Amino acid sequence: MSWIPFKKAFSPRRTRTDDVEFEREVGKLRQMQAVSKRMYKDMRKCNDAETALMLSNQRLVSHLKSSQHGKIEPLKQTVETLAGVADEMSTHSKALKTSQEVTFAEPMKKFNNVYKHVEFNAKQRELKLQEYDKQQSKMDKQGRKSAGSTQNQVSAQTKMDQLTRALSSAKQDYERVHGRMMQEMPELYEGRVEYFDLSLQAVIKAQALYYHSCSETLLAGLTQLQSELPDSTALRAQDVMSEENIIKNTEKYLEDIRNLSIVGHTPMP
Asked whether residue 97 is assigned to any structural domain, the reply reads yes
Q: Are residues 266 and 176 in the same domain?
A: no
Q: Are residues 91 and 141 in the same domain?
A: yes
Residue numbers of the domain that contains 65? 17-236
Asked whether residue 8 is assigned to any structural domain, the reply reads no
Asked whether residue 96 is assigned to any structural domain, the reply reads yes
Q: Are residues 116 and 36 in the same domain?
A: yes
Residues contacting 142, CB < 8 A, separation 6+: 156, 159, 160, 163
Q: Are residues 230 and 241 in the same domain?
A: no
Q: Are residues 156 and 178 in the same domain?
A: yes
What residue spans of 101-152 are helical by DSSP H?
106-112, 114-147
Q: Are residues 49 and 113 in the same domain?
A: yes
Asked whether residue 101 is assigned to any structural domain, the reply reads yes
Write the CATH number for 66.
1.20.1270.60
Asked whether residue 23 is assigned to any structural domain, the reply reads yes
Q: Are residues 176 and 260 in the same domain?
A: no
CA distance linking residue 266 with residue 89, whole number of Å:
42
Asked whether residue 111 is assigned to any structural domain, the reply reads yes
What predicted TM-score, i.e. pTM, was given to this entire model?
Answer: 0.68
Q: Are residues 264 and 170 in the same domain?
A: no
Q: Are residues 224 and 132 in the same domain?
A: yes
- 3-class SS of residue 77: helix
Q: Are residues 95 and 206 in the same domain?
A: yes
Q: Are residues 102 and 115 in the same domain?
A: yes
Contact criterion met (CB below 8 Å) for 105 and 37: no
Asked whether residue 182 is assigned to any structural domain, the reply reads yes
CA distance linking residue 195 with residue 120, whole number of Å:
22
Q: Tens-digit pLDDT profile for the chain (269 aa)?
A: 444 443 443 444 455 677 888 989 999 999 999 999 999 999 999 999 999 999 999 999 888 888 887 777 777 888 888 899 999 999 999 999 999 999 999 999 888 888 988 999 999 999 999 999 999 888 888 877 776 565 567 677 788 888 889 999 999 999 999 999 999 999 999 988 888 888 899 999 999 999 999 999 999 988 888 776 655 444 455 444 566 777 777 788 778 777 776 655 555 54
Q: How many domains does the chain have?
A: 2
Asked whether residue 6 is assigned to any structural domain, the reply reads no
Q: Are residues 139 and 264 in the same domain?
A: no
